[in-house]
Amino acid sequence: METLIKAIAKFIEENPVLNVSGIEIQAGVPKGTLQKALGGFQKLSQHNAEKLMPVLTRYGFQFDSGAKIISIANNKGGVAKTASTVNIAAAIAKQGLKTLIIDMDPQGSASRHFGQYELEVQLSDSLRENAPLPIEQIMVEVKENLWICPSNLNLEGLLSEMQSDEVEGNMRLKKALMPIAGKFDYIFIDCPPSLNLFTINSLIASNGVLVPVQPEPHSIDGIANIMKMINKVAMVNPILKVDGFFFTLVKTNTKLHEGMMDSLQDIYPNIKVYQTRIRHNISISEASYEEKDVLAYDSSSAGAKDYTNLSKELING
Ligand SMILES: Nc1ncnc2c1ncn2[C@@H]1O[C@H](COP(=O)(O)OP(=O)(O)OP(=O)(O)O)[C@@H](O)[C@H]1O
Ligand SMILES: [Mg+2]
């Protein structure tokens, strides 16, 4: 919290035109809250900091919590977003890093992966407008160093409420993650196959985005859509960077896939394409059926090896 106050103080110092009392009014915090915190007279409570964050964010404030927060996004369905979220997160957790998965898809596939479906409390309870639950109350530890914020169709029910909230509807996830982000090394967000407000919320809450790409003609053409959305969100969230593309469901030794993989870097010369390719491997589907990540299901499988290598490439930048 101390570092948040310092970041807020620095932001206000660098932007002298900001009206501190106006910000307090917009955030709905008691008069003088921010002023006293900045002067060192009174500590800013977590509750008030959470109220102030979205307002300050609208004025361009960015707070780097220290955690790497990565959306795994592609509006094309079935390109292994969920398989990659779950297995990259499991591979990183296995290396001793504290990792959290956010299931931002009402299909709840990532949650099912760990048998965490139909829970009484879930992510939608932390994203609702009325008395949202702190993330700590809805996240579930699924194995050593790995937690998930589960979802199911209840999340779908929240979409219209979020859409009608013109001021903060796109910032609900960012607001919910802010108090806990610093407690994790990595947070991965499994996005739905759509360019809707759930994907926008994910990108606004993130500082990175990974795009899984299936090396098929229509998949590669469709990347333009997600890239357009990322670029738009980056205008309001300038810390958002494309970490890169990685290939999934790769059939090795097929001319089509080899050609497609070669062409992606030509189309996007400035974006990293990860060297590790995730091969088509039945263990990945079997693991999901058994409600396990592929490393736990069969550590010697091609899927476990590929996701371990990809996670190492990601960690090493
Ligand atoms: N490398 C792989 N080898 C074999 N099967 C895979 C692989 N990766 C994913 N799958 C399987 O492909 C299907 C689609 O994968 P997944 O659900 O991860 O895609 P998705 O992009 O999340 O889909 P959606 O757009 O519906 O959210 C699943 O049945 C999954 O088990
Ligand atoms: Mg999915």
Comparing C-alpha atoms, which of 231, 241, 293 is closest to residue 85?
Answer: 293
Segment 211-229 mean pLDDT: 91
**pLDDT at residue 1, as a whole number:** 55
Which residue did the predictor score with more confidence, 116 or 38?
Answer: 116
Which pLDDT belongs to residue 261? 83
| Residue 276 Cα to ligand 1 middle (Å) | 17
Q: Which of 144-148, 261-265, 300-304 has the lowest mean pLDDT?
A: 261-265
Q: Choose from 27-41, 85-99, 172-186 the range with maximum mean pLDDT.
A: 85-99
3-state secondary structure the chain: CHHHHHHHHHHHHHCCCCCHHHHHHHHCCCCCHHHHHHCCCCCCCHHHHHHHHHHHHHCCCCCCCCCEEEEECCCCCCCCHHHHHHHHHHHHHHCCCCEEEEECCCCCHHHHHCCCCCCCCCHHHHHCCCCCCCHHHCCEEEECCEEEECCCCHHHHHHHHHHHCCCCCCCHHHHHHCCCHHHCCEEEEECCCCCCHHHHHHHHHCCEEEEEECCCHHHHHHHHHHHHHHHHHHHHCCCCEEEEEEECCECCCCHHHHHHHHHHHHHCCCCCECCCCCECCHHHHHHHHCCCCHHHHCCCCHHHHHHHHHHHHHHCC
Ligand 1 atom with the shortest distance to the CA of 285: 31
User: What average pLDDT does the segment 39-52 reach?
Assistant: 81
Q: pTM above the 0.85 mark?
A: yes
Q: Please write the tens of the pLDDT for every residue from 115-158.
A: 998 888 999 999 999 999 999 999 999 999 999 999 999 999 99
Q: Enter the CATH code of domain 68-315.
A: 3.40.50.300
State residue 73's pLDDT score.
98
- Tell me the pLDDT band of 32, cut-offs 50, 70 and 90: very high
User: Above 90 in pLDDT, residue 38?
Assistant: no
The yes-or-no verdict on residue 42 having pLDDT over 70 is yes
Mean pLDDT, rounded, for 61-71: 86
Q: Which residues line ligand 1 (CB under 6 A)?
A: 77-83, 105, 107, 109, 193, 248-249, 278, 280-282, 284-285, 288, 303
Q: Identify which has the larger pLDDT, 278 or 253.
A: 278
Nearest CA to ligand 1 atom 13: 78
- Domain boundaries in the chain? 2-58, 68-315
Q: At the topology level of CATH, where does 2-58 sit?
A: 434 Repressor (Amino-terminal Domain) (1.10.260)
pLDDT confidence of residue 125: 97
Residue 46 has pLDDT above 80, yes or no: no
Position 97 confidence tier, pLDDT thresholds 50, 70, 90: very high
Q: Considering every ligand atom shown, identify the ligand nearest to the alpha carbon of residue 297 and give its number.
A: 1
243 vs 260, higher pLDDT: 243
Nearest CA owner, ligand 1 atom 29: 285
**Mean pLDDT across the chain, nearest whole number?**
92
Cβ atoms of 226 and 194 closer than 8 Å:
no
Are the beta carbons of 181 and 62 closer than 8 angstroms? no
